[in-house]
Structure 1
Amino acid sequence: MCDEVAARIRELIMDGQVRPGEFLRLERLALDFGISVTPVREALQSLRSEGFVQLEPRRGFVVAPLSKQDVNDLFWVQATIAAELTVRAARRMEPETMRDLTGIQRSLEQAVAAGRADLVEDHNHAFHRAINLAADSEKLAWSLGSVSRYVPRGLYGRLPDWPAAVERDHLRILEALRSGDPHAASGAMRLHIMRAGELLIAHLERQEMWGPTAPAAPAAPTP
């Protein structure tokens, strides 16, 4: 249960529903989640080790600072590892795996057309998992999973431009894999992950995670 509670609190933070500097009250979270205080305390201790929260003596747990650069760095790490896994997968790609990826992509496109962001997330996860398994690099894939959990599943579906972007990005990755070009596939994967980070940062800006966004300056008059 601790992992599930930690994932829910992590989602609150990464979605901008709780802000850096805001205290996380055990009793309030336990009431909201419909559970006892103990798993909430355990989850917060786990999130403390991940750097999501801090413990202030005699005051409790508080959301740790999270800057735009922090979010960008998280996605840079994900993109770097995912790109290497894609290179390795491309060099070992079997026809059966290509058929699986093509089928997953077809299902993803149907989910996008139906407006089912939840299914888009499921198919996106399956697409990446198939590539990571094809890479046959267990420790590297584990490292990617450790970083990826910072953005809980379910959050991407709330980013308005994400479903269409993931559909386009996956097509580019598939095209490179079909053509047997590991470096093109790697580059497409890197751009795909970094684009997700940009969309999340834009979402957090709309949530005013880092304060109100300054209005755009008026355009200069045409001479």
Structure 2
Amino acid sequence: MTTDAPIARQQLGDEAAAYVRDQIISGQLAPGVRVRPEAIAGDLGISPTPAREALKALQVEGFLELEPRRGFTVANVTGDDIRDIFLVQATVAGELAARATARMTPMQCSRLEDIHVSLVAAAEHEDLSAVEELNHRFHREINLAAGAPKLGWVIQILSRYTPRRFYTTKGCTCSTDWPATTVEDHTAILAAIRSRNSECARIVTLEHVHRAGEQLARHIDARLNGVDCSVME
């Protein structure tokens, strides 16, 4: 049958959307710049069809605009836009952490502890790729333990506004202190979960996500003001 083709095309479209989304938020694609599906397809080695579908999806999400005779252009995303998105994300993440604290089984808690131990080791060895992956696994474990799939879906949608590897990109000011901050914040979240303090877990998780959003928002504000966020050698 032909059911595999649409699924594969959708997966390619999702990958293309993530690729362009990251470039927009990180500043590699500036507001007003034209984005051609053929160019994206060439960058990723895919056909123009899933690339075009990806750009249409990004238009719906507000990352791109469709202008007559110009095609897709990058929309203006400001620091305040990011703050608004992370305000919602922090609230939802805090609720998920509170629910997970009340529901988490000893096995789930043990997995979370193992992830945290690995994250601490990765931060000590300055393995930024591992820090990124383990950070994702840490929060995913909490979100799954919460038993609230609809809220988990909301978090997944909102996380699209955070470019992959933003907080752990070498050569950028965002990478200088974020791994240590992540370890500190996760330690507090884990302590709240261990003690079954749902309200504490909510607060420290909310603050953690808010801190992440503010760092991204400031990066975007600086970029829009022409400030170079690279680490000076």
TM-score scaled by length of structure 1: 0.89
Name the residue aligned to 2:115: 104
Aligned AA (2:87) = W
CA distance in 2, matches of 1:88, 1:188: 14
Aligned AA (1:168) = E
Map residues 1-223 of structure 1 onto 2, 5 A cutoff: 1-158=12-169, 159-160=174-175, 161-206=177-222, 208=223, 210-213=224-227
Q: RMSD between aligned alpha carbons?
A: 1.6
- Give the percent of matched residue pairs that are identical in Structure 1 and Structure 2: 45
CA distance in 2, matches of 1:99, 1:211: 45
1:24/1:60 contact within 8 Å kept: yes
Deviation per CA, 1:54-81, whole angstroms, max 9, x where unpaired? 1001111111111111011111111010
Specify every segment of 5 or more residues in structure 1 that has no aligned partner in the other structure, as ranges.
214-223
Q: How far 1:39 sits from its partner (Å)?
A: 2.2
CA distance in 2, matches of 1:65, 1:212: 15
The aligned length equals: 212
Mark the CA change 1:192 to 1:6 in structure 2 (over 3 Å): closer, same or farther. same
SS of the residue corresponding to residue 38 of structure 2 reads: helix
Instruction: Single out whichever of 24-33 and 175-184 deviates more from structure 2.
Output: 24-33
SS of the residue corresponding to residue 62 of structure 1 reads: strand
Specify every segment of 5 or more residues in structure 2 that has no aligned partner in the other structure, as ranges.
1-11, 228-233
TM-score scaled by length of structure 2: 0.86
Aligned AA (2:183) = E
Q: How far 1:89 sits from its partner (Å)?
A: 0.8
CA distance in 1, matches of 2:156, 2:188: 23
Deviation per CA, 1:93-115, whole angstroms, max 9, x where unpaired? 22222211111000001111111
Name the residue aligned to 1:219: none
1:162/1:199 contact within 8 Å kept: no
SS of the residue corresponding to residue 168 of structure 2 reads: helix
Aligned AA (2:201) = A
1:74/1:147 contact within 8 Å kept: yes
Q: How far 1:124 sits from its partner (Å)?
A: 0.8
CA distance in 2, matches of 1:90, 1:35: 43
